[in-house]
Amino acid sequence: METISHDIANLFLQLGLPSGAQDIDQFVENHRLPHGIVLHHAPYWNASQAQFLKQAIECDCEWSEVVDQLAVRLN
């Protein structure tokens, strides 16, 4: 049985984004979460990325903690 580590790099892979440390840092540097906007409503996500992020928070599943961490980094 294969398990996935629910960390920021694997979150980026789930979102279809480059997942190297430099790639993640560059994404965070180039994207900001506008004040008062929840993460999945940010304008830089496509529909499937936004849906994944929304579900991760709503279901309080394995991804919710790392999605919260991403939101904090983008603020």
Give the tens place of pLDDT for each residue, 26-71.
999 999 998 899 999 999 999 999 999 999 999 878 899 999 999 9
Q: Which pLDDT score is estimated for 3?
A: 72
**1 pLDDT tier (thresholds 50, 70, 90):** very low
Round to whole Å and give the CA distance between 72 and 38.
Answer: 11
Please determine, for residue 2, whether its predicted confidence score (pLDDT) is greater than 70: no
Q: Are 42 and 34 in contact (CB under 8 A)?
A: yes
Round to whole Å and give the CA distance between 11 and 6.
Answer: 7
pTM of the model: 0.90
Residue 69: helix, strand or coil by DSSP? helix
